[in-house]
């Protein structure tokens, strides 16, 4: 669809969804963002848009000489990883409970951690250099906890899935971020930004920014990029652990090159001939040819996509289906029986602890994809057969 343009205070707002489908709280947030004096060109709003803490989920914001830590989100570097295997549906047993159980043993979920380190050179290079960066983080983070959380899933909407594409090929897909480490760093820098004099008159204090060439910006960039690297490495470790579980049951399996993408992050890019800092909160980069992952919910399809490089979206696309109701509302409205019905055919938890992740709490992923046909092209459609949640 063509983006709908809404007049903002300083820059316009471009929506890849119908304005009437954006909740009022989220629309107010978008107008507040559009009023920031550092905002560049326009605010790009993805079709999975919904209200978020500080800044709107599904927003892409380009700024000149400034960045807002709340426009990244507290789970810095949260994103997706996926890999296609050589297995097909016919290779799998009818009962997938054992495979799910083995995945849950290999990857701690929720608040769980590894008892010993789970990472090695198979996951990423320069581990020593990476961990040295921990020593200069601005916020107080426990090193032991950060080390033992590397390669863990977390809770909420984070997941590990085994999926089938429409041709019957087996994929592994997962969603996680920087765990508690990124959250601590984000909260620290958001609180610092709120105290700076140039943020005193903002329409929303949570949108406080750091300015280029200041000590506060330098400290934030250091911690931000470290946390984004932590999240990327975390997904790589988990992907290797899950692939090892599958290889133990199917020794003949082969894996293609993994796909990995952040969807809560900052990138320094050039758009419309101008160097800017782009925050994508609930959005992936969709430059021409970029491969990305757009998940639905624990009972619906997901998509592997290729970016079309649309300049008006700052070469971005949605990060998923996006919630259409809060977790509290979902818990009040739906039951375990509803969850079981909506996840029929998926080997997964069906208890009260994950009712807030029920598919009906999310937008229609197929409509979201239709709304961004000018942002990405579909490479593969996946449907989960196993879903692991914290």
Give the catalytic positions in this structure.
319
Which position has the token pair 């196993």? 386
| CA–CA dist 17, 227 (Å, integer) | 31
**Which residue is it, tokens 């900052």?**
266
C-alpha angle 375-23-156 in degrees, rounded to nearest 5 = 75
SS3 305: strand
Q: How far apart are the first and last CA of the chain?
A: 36
Give the integer Cα–Cα distance in Å for 153 and 359. 20
State the angle between helix axes of 97-106 and 215-249 in degrees (0 to 180), rounded to the nearest 10: 140
Label residue 28 exposed, middle or buried (CB < 10 Å: 0-12, 13-18, 19+).
middle
Does residue 234 contact residue 152 with C-beta atoms inside 8 Å?
A: yes
Residue whose token pair is 């984000």: 186
In this structure, the dihedral spanned by the alpha carbons of residues 198, 184, 298 and 374, taken in order and rounded to 10 degrees, is: 30
Q: How far is CA 78 from the centre of its chain?
A: 4
* In contact, 2 and 374? CB cutoff 8 Å: yes
């Amino acid at each position: 669809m063509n983006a709908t343009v809404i007049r903002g205070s300083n820059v316009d707002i471009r929506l890849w969804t119908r304005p009437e489908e954006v909740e009022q709280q989220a629309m107010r947030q978008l107008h507040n963002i559009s009023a920031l004096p550092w905002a560049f060109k326009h605010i790009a709003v993805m079709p999975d848009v919904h209200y978020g803490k500080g800044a709107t989920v599904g927003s892409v914001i380009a700024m000149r000489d400034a960045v807002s830590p709340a426009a990244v989100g507290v789970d810095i570097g949260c994103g997706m990883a996926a890999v296609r295997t050589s297995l097909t549906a016919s290779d799998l047993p009818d009962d997938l409970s054992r495979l799910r159980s083995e995945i849950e043993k290999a990857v701690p979920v929720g608040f769980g951690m590894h008892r010993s380190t789970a990472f090695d050179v198979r996951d990423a290079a320069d581990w020593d250099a990476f961990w040295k960066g921990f020593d200069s983080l601005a916020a107080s983070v426990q090193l032991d906890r950060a080390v033992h959380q590397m390669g863990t899933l977390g809770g909420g909407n984070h997941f590990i899935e085994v999926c089938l594409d429409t041709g019957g090929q087996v994929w592994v897909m997962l969603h996680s971020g920087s765990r508690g480490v990124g959250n601590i760093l984000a909260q620290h820098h958001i609180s610092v930004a709120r105290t700076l004099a140039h943020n005193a008159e903002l329409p929303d204090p949570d949108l406080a920014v750091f300015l280029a060439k200041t000590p506060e910006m330098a400290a934030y960039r250091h911690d931000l990029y470290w946390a984004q690297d932590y999240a990327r490495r975390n997904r790589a470790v988990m992907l290797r652990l899950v692939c090892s579980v599958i290889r133990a049951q199917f020794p003949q399996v082969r894996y293609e090159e993994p796909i990995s993408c952040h969807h809560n992050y900052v990138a320094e890019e050039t758009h419309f001939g101008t160097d800017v800092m782009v925050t994508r909160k609930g959005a992936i980069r969709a430059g021409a040819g970029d491969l990305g992952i757009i998940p639905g919910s624990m009972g619906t399809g997901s998509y592997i996509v290729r970016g079309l490089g649309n300049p008006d979206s700052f070469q971005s696309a949605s990060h998923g289906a996006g919630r259409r109701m809060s977790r509290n509302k979902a818990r009040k409205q739906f039951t375990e029986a509803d969850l079981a019905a909506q996840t029929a055919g998926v080997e997964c938890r069906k208890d009260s602890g994950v009712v807030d992740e029920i598919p009906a709490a999310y937008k229609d992923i197929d409509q979201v994809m239709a709304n961004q046909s000018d942002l990405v092209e579909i490479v593969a459609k996946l449907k989960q057969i196993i879903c692991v949640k914290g």
